[in-house]
Amino acid sequence: MSIITLQSVQKDFGIKEILKDASFSLDASDKVGLIGTNGSGKSTLLKIIADLEPIDSGQILINSGSKIIYLPQQPDLDENRTVLEQIFADSGEHMTLVREYEELSDKLAHYPDDNQLMSRLSAVMQRMDTSNAWELETNAKIILTKLGISDFDAKIGTLSGGYRKRIALATALLAEPDILLMDEPTNHLDALSVEWLQSYLNRYRGALFLITHDRYFLDRVTNRIVEIDRGDIYTYTGNYSYYLEKKALAEESAISTQRKHQGILRRELEWLKKGPKARSTKQKARIDRAHALRDTEFKQVQGKVDISTVGRRIGKKVIALNNISKAYNGRTLINNFTYEFSPEDRIGIIGANGAGKSTLMDIITGQIQPDSGSAEIGTTIHIGYFDQHSEELLTALNENQRVIDYIKEEGEFVKITDGTQITASQMLERFLFPGNQQYAPIHKLSGGEKRRLFLLRVLMSAPNVLILDEPTNDLDVQTLAVLEDYLEDFVGCVIVVSHDRYFLDRTIDTIFSFEEGGNLRQYPGNYSVYLDYKKAEEAAQQQAANTKEKPKNVEVQNDASSPKNGENQKRRRLSNWEKREFEQLEGKIAQLEADKAETEKKLANVSPGNYSQVQKLYEEVESLKQAIDVATERWLELAEMES
């Protein structure tokens, strides 16, 4: 059943037509991926559905009562709220109960014999039981923890943009809307958080409409692909792999049709040149057909970025890092790291947010100095640095500067791989900036278009060492695919910082992983190979832990005298809220287990051939399994704090 329908929707921004005559529908069970080149109107379409952007004509039909949540790339949060307050900002009564409970708990800690306070607390707890506020709080903490946020009392104003995006994401997921609109939800997430989000959305029961550059994510979460191509909308039933297959066939068919049309048109034009006279109805009809063929317009195959800039010679000495270390505020980000990059290196840098990846890139490029050690750059080296703050660099220069003037600062002409020279304007066209956009100010571009523009300027400088810091943020999947092909043939050293698993698998052959204490560990192979290494290591460690037995007398001695025991005694104790959560989790897990057993029983008794019922019950069992795992993990975490 359709819950959103667009009928003949038009949207025009003057210099660009976003939607010509767009019509499509979104069903209640749809998980749709929205793709298209940067600036094609993907974010605008989400805003239109969220009723944040008006349309020029057409209509949008939304089922009455449907709850829509929109997660933008740059969410607007209240800087004075704490993390939990922001999460529950739209929860109304729930948030009031949570605050009242916390206040009464604090007062009772100081006045434990106050019967009036105890009576009020009991009443609040009863209301929380009735409204299911306990479970809401538990789920919020689980989601935040999975997204890498552990300080629930931190003020929003003290957090980075990446952490704010995660909090907004957690808020959207907790709301459980009928329709969830997400614009680049995987930006600022590390690989583990992306994996968890992918699993969560696979179980999500509402409709999902998202924009993402992460092709593994797109492939594993979506069941439909909607493409915006120069104002038109095309729908493909299937995931991203299916879309690629059908898109290739459609383009081949379009080219074949156009060739046939050109062949017929050529023969008809030759016939016209002979000067046939329209003396018969048949001849007149043929003349009319020839004119109609001549006037027929074909939509060209979707334009693709053409990266064909020439590099420069690279010597044997590239970049040498000698025992470099760097710390901020007493925290070591890089600890005594040594490595000599070679001209053929394809290095991927991974690690948690804030681990020090961008700091390492800034040391390599000379933007900051290490606390100790040195970074030496070869005399022939020219670094092209495409960093994650490139949009800020663009706007910091002059957002009113014209696009073509910004590119001409790098050069009026560009030498391409076949040895010829083309103008800056022609190069912009190869990067999908048509003539009318070239003379527009930079601030008129979308975020992704600004990133693509900056990438063009970096490549025009003909680097022989290319450093890409989160290149997949805001670049469309088409541009990423072309960039990956370009890197395969790039003559020089490539260093990539990214959380995009697909991009890393395509472009690198060695992983540098930031681990505890600022140590960088090297793994041969791409990201998938790295994951295999880590899984093998974890399995070996688990096996060793299972087979190792500790003498009881040693354990007693350690309990009494080990320094670590003193540290454990200083660990944070459970709050009143967490104690209540801990007490309720046991019952919740038992209920989930019972529900799972009952659903499995129903599944076993479904009549043969009732595939829809089998699928529905199977999904319920899988969802219950996941809920049991999450609740059990939280129970173990609280149990460890309680012990």
Question: Token pair for residue 187?
Answer: 């930006």
Instruction: Report how far residue 534's alpha carbon sits from residue 539's, in angstroms, rounded to the nearest whole number.
Output: 9
Maximum Cα–Cα distance across the chain: 114
Task: Kindly tell me if the per-residue pLDDT of 568 is higher than 50.
Answer: no
Higher pLDDT, 8 or 624: 8
Closest CA to 136 of 174, 163, 90: 174
Q: Phi and psi of 584, rounded to 5°?
A: -80, -25
Mean pLDDT of the chain: 80
Helix (H, G, I), strand (E, B) or coil at 8: strand
Highest mean pLDDT out of 213-217, 610-614, 634-638: 213-217
Residue 77 contacts by C-beta under 8 Å, 6 or more apart in sequence? 86, 156, 164, 167, 168
122 to 114, 126, 449: CA distances (angstroms): 12, 6, 57
3-state secondary structure 527-594: HHHHHHHHHHHHHHHHHHHHHCCCCHHHHHHHHHHCHHHHHHHCCCCCCHHHHHHHHHHHHHHHHHHH
Higher pLDDT, 542 or 299: 542
Q: Are 359 and 440 in contact (CB under 8 A)?
A: no
Residues above pLDDT 70, as percent of the chain: 79
Residue 273 contacts by C-beta under 8 Å, 6 or more apart in sequence? none
Task: Kindly tell me if the per-residue pLDDT of 311 is higher than 80.
Answer: no
Instruction: Report how far residue 460's alpha carbon sits from residue 165's, in angstroms, rounded to the nearest whole number.
Output: 33
Residue 302, by phi and psi: left (phi above 0), alpha (psi -120 to 50) or beta? beta
Instruction: Report how far residue 122's alpha carbon sits from residue 119's, in angstroms, rounded to the nearest whole number.
Output: 5
pLDDT confidence band for 555 (50 / 70 / 90): very low
pLDDT tens digits along 256-284? 666 665 666 566 566 556 665 544 555 55
pLDDT at position 558 is 42
DSSP string covering 242-309: HHHHHHHHHHHHHHHHHHHHHHHHHHHHHHHHT-----SHHHHHHHHHHHHHHH---PPP-------B
Which of these ranges, 316-325, 514-523, 618-627, has the smallest mean pLDDT? 618-627
Helix (H, G, I), strand (E, B) or coil at 28: coil
Question: Token pair for residue 190?
Answer: 């590390």
pLDDT tens digits along 188-204? 787 778 888 998 998 88
Instruction: Report how far residue 29's alpha carbon sits from residue 237's, in angstroms, rounded to the nearest whole number.
Output: 13
Instruction: Report how far residue 177's alpha carbon sits from residue 66's, in angstroms, rounded to the nearest whole number.
Output: 8
Average pLDDT over every residue of 283-310: 59
DSSP H/E element including 373 = strand 372-377
Average pLDDT over every residue of 223-235: 89
Residue 33 contacts by C-beta under 8 Å, 6 or more apart in sequence? 210, 211, 212, 218, 221, 222, 224, 225, 226, 239, 240
pLDDT at position 554 is 44
Closest CA to 574 of 494, 533, 635: 635
Question: Token pair for residue 235?
Answer: 């729908």
322 burial class (0-12, 13-18, 19+ CB within 10 angstroms)? middle
Which of these ranges, 117-126, 133-142, 192-201, has the smallest mean pLDDT? 133-142
DSSP H/E element including 515 = strand 510-515
Instruction: Report how far residue 35's alpha carbon sits from residue 596's, in angstroms, rounded to the nearest whole number.
Output: 37
Residues above pLDDT 90, as percent of the chain: 22
Task: Kindly tell me if the per-residue pLDDT of 457 is higher than 80.
Answer: yes
R_g of the chain, CA atoms, integer Å: 30
Bridge-based pairing state of the strands 2-12 and 57-62: antiparallel
Query: How many other CB atoms are there within 10 angstroms of residue 162's CB atom?
Result: 15
The pTM assigned to this predicted structure is: 0.65
pLDDT confidence band for 564 (50 / 70 / 90): very low
Q: Are 245 and 230 in contact (CB under 8 A)?
A: no
pLDDT at position 563 is 42
Instruction: Report how far residue 25's alpha carbon sits from residue 7's, in angstroms, rounded to the nearest whole number.
Output: 9
pLDDT at position 577 is 61
pLDDT tens digits along 389-441? 655 555 556 788 899 999 898 888 877 777 788 888 988 888 888 888 899 88
pLDDT at position 181 is 95
